[in-house]
Structure 1
Amino acid sequence: MMQKILVTGATGNVGQEVVHLLLLQNCHVCAGVRNPLKAKQILGSNVQCIPFDFTNPDTFTKAFKEVDKLFLVRPPALANVRQQIAPALNAAKLAGVEHIVFLSLLGAERNSFVPHSKIERYIDQLGIPATFLRCSFFMQNLNTTHREDIKTRGELLMPTGNGKTSFIDVRDIAAVAVRTLIEDGHQSRAYTLTGKEALTYYDVADIFTSVLGKPIRYNPSLLKFVQQTHSSGLPIDFIFVMVAIYTTARLGLAGLITSDTEQLLNRSPITIRQYIEDYAECWL
């Protein structure tokens, strides 16, 4: 019998791609979303969308019904793991979910401050077999969170100093996630997913300038980053998490390069130049 896979964060960068790839594999996939009607406009009418909200326990029972596997994405705005994430994980355990693939963060096992680390530990405490995908910085954050900075101001605004980052494309992350969801042998494993090169944001700005044909500069100011993200309406908890993640890069902890992505996909990871070429219209 075909296993049922619930995808949270299904309308996000990684989630959308995971849903798409699972459908190509003819999997029984459901998208757990807060607004099913809106999600169908994004994901397509052929995707089964189920009401699910981490902050609304009333949605848990129906969402986890007969679910065998869970692709877990932490909503960026939710930073209090015990209050906002743990109840859903408890419900998943109670419903009999057999395997969780969690979209985690590079170095989460060493950085106890970030919510991803707390989620990993809580999943382990529950005893649900899991696969942790500890991903480096998403390339696609540059065409979502940082799109306007790049497009309108020609600026990469991140407080990472001269630290290098092993950027990874979400298309590669999703491809790995799908393999770990549909294949045996990935339970109780953690994969550190990176690209094949580590670059400073000065390097990235130069590649943007080359590909887009307009000057893009890098601004590492922490003060301006906090001021600008706060004025844009982002919650302060979310900003603190972003600063913590960028601090790992500034301290030289985000430049790790592993072979996990290449080995799991049997090909080289997408480069940041290829990514910028593919998404160029976002910033023009």
Structure 2
Amino acid sequence: MTAQRVLVTAGTGTVGQHVVRELRDDDIEVRVGTRRPQSVREANDSDECVVEFDFVRPETWGAALDGVDAIFLVRPPGVEQGQVTAFVDAASRVGVEHVVYLSTLGADKNVLIPHHRIESHIQQSAVRPTFLRASFFSQNLHEVHGQDVVEHHEIFVPAGTGETSFVDARDVAAVAAVVLTDDRHDKQAYDLTGPEALRYDEVAAVFSDALNRRITYAEPSIPAFIRRMLSRDLPLSYVLLMVGIYSTARFGFAGRVTGDVGRLLGRPPRTVRDYVEDYRDRFEPANPPAATHSPER
């Protein structure tokens, strides 16, 4: 059965906000789950339903799940695996039929990461699962690393010379909307990547060309990366998580490219160039320097 009422967890997040928009365009009743509903309501004058939802506060689950038949499930950083699986069990008990879980590329084989264990738990529950195993989001380049591009004109990540098959969060959201509104995708798993794998020096070249100023790849050591991130008051646990993510690229495990996005959407996935051009304003310094890079034609 196609979903009629969908709870989007992390509904204002990197992917969730776009899932909400896609489903609303499909005339699906959307319930936006967020820890701070009042601030969302004040900032958003649409008529979408915003509810308080927090994995670590089970008292928020009942109202968020009331009448829901499908969930777009995201595990935010810092939320423990057991809190997510307990929520899945609660959803199953109240009759939720379909869970679309935003996982990570390679989760089916990597038994060491929480995504693998959460996938296994969902498979053993009474809900019908769909797994979206996404590569590294292009949007992380401004949400996490935009300050380095703006202030230092560099991409500062410890990924060595490894490649990454960046995927645009908007494409992941569009796929989520497809699988939530068509039950032919129940009990399926999709590996979501962009159309190509790039080294970070190649990403820097794309930035340089699109922004018309020179952006370099700093290729910092892991200790240097940790020091800079901690200087911005980021939690050590989050910084170490980033180190783990970039280590997968450093050791050559993040470059796999698939065609799932294109097959599911009927169009090519967005490129890193598309992303940079669409988010250009996020990378512009307050007092931009004179252009130092001439795009090739």
Q: CA offsets per residue over residues 72-116 of structure 1, 9 Å max, x none? A: 0111222x212x322212211111110111111111112233322
Shift in Å at residue 224 of structure 1?
Answer: 1.6
Once residues 268 and 44 of structure 2 are traced to their aligned partners in structure 1, the CA distance between those partners, rounded to angstroms, is: 28
Once residues 202 and 52 of structure 1 are traced to their aligned partners in structure 2, the CA distance between those partners, rounded to angstroms, is: 40
Q: Which residue is 2:32 aligned to? A: 31
| C-alpha contact 1:114 1:244 (8 A) present in aligned 2 | no
The 1:2/1:201 distance shift into structure 2, 3 A limit, reads closer
Amino acid at match of 1:109: D
Shift in Å at residue 45 of structure 1?
Answer: 3.1
Q: Which residue is 1:223 aligned to? A: 223
| C-alpha contact 1:11 1:43 (8 A) present in aligned 2 | no
Shift in Å at residue 41 of structure 1?
Answer: 3.9
Q: CA offsets per residue over residues 21-56 of structure 1, 9 Å max, x none? A: 111111011011111111224554311011111000
| C-alpha contact 2:149 2:283 (8 A) present in aligned 1 | yes
Shift in Å at residue 3 of structure 1?
Answer: 1.7
Amino acid at match of 1:248: T
Shift in Å at residue 154 of structure 1?
Answer: 1.1
Q: How does 1:105-116 map to 2 (within 5 A)?
A: 105-116=104-115
Once residues 44 and 188 of structure 1 are traced to their aligned partners in structure 2, the CA distance between those partners, rounded to angstroms, is: 36
Amino acid at match of 1:265: L
Q: Which residue is 1:196 aligned to? A: 195
Once residues 234 and 44 of structure 1 are traced to their aligned partners in structure 2, the CA distance between those partners, rounded to angstroms, is: 31
* 1:164 counterpart = 2:163: yes
Q: Which residue is 1:175 aligned to? A: 174
The 1:42/1:241 distance shift into structure 2, 3 A limit, reads farther
Paired positions, count: 282
Select the structure of larger CA radius of gyration.
Answer: 2
Counterpart secondary structure, 2:12: coil
The 1:32/1:248 distance shift into structure 2, 3 A limit, reads same
TM-score by length of 2: 0.91
| C-alpha contact 1:195 1:270 (8 A) present in aligned 2 | yes
TM-score by length of 1: 0.95
Q: How does 1:24-173 map to 2 (within 5 A)?
A: 24-78=25-79, 80-82=80-82, 84-173=83-172
Q: CA offsets per residue over residues 253-279 of structure 1, 9 Å max, x none? A: 111011100000111111111111111
Once residues 280 and 213 of structure 1 are traced to their aligned partners in structure 2, the CA distance between those partners, rounded to angstroms, is: 11
Once residues 3 and 165 of structure 2 are traced to their aligned partners in structure 1, the CA distance between those partners, rounded to angstroms, is: 36
| C-alpha contact 1:16 1:43 (8 A) present in aligned 2 | no
Shift in Å at residue 243 of structure 1?
Answer: 1.8
Shift in Å at residue 122 of structure 1?
Answer: 1.9
* 1:264 counterpart = 2:264: yes
| C-alpha contact 1:7 1:29 (8 A) present in aligned 2 | yes
Counterpart secondary structure, 1:85: helix
Any stretches of 5+ residues in structure 2 without a counterpart? 285-297
Q: Which residue is 2:294 aligned to? A: none
Counterpart secondary structure, 2:131: strand
Amino acid at match of 1:239: V
Residue identity (%): 43
Once residues 42 and 257 of structure 2 are traced to their aligned partners in structure 1, the CA distance between those partners, rounded to angstroms, is: 37
Any stretches of 5+ residues in structure 1 without a counterpart? none
Q: Relative to structure 2, which stretch is displaced further, 1-10 or 135-144? A: 1-10
The 1:203/1:8 distance shift into structure 2, 3 A limit, reads same
Q: CA offsets per residue over residues 142-183 of structure 1, 9 Å max, x none? A: 111111011111121111111101111111111000000011
Q: Which residue is 1:207 aligned to? A: 206
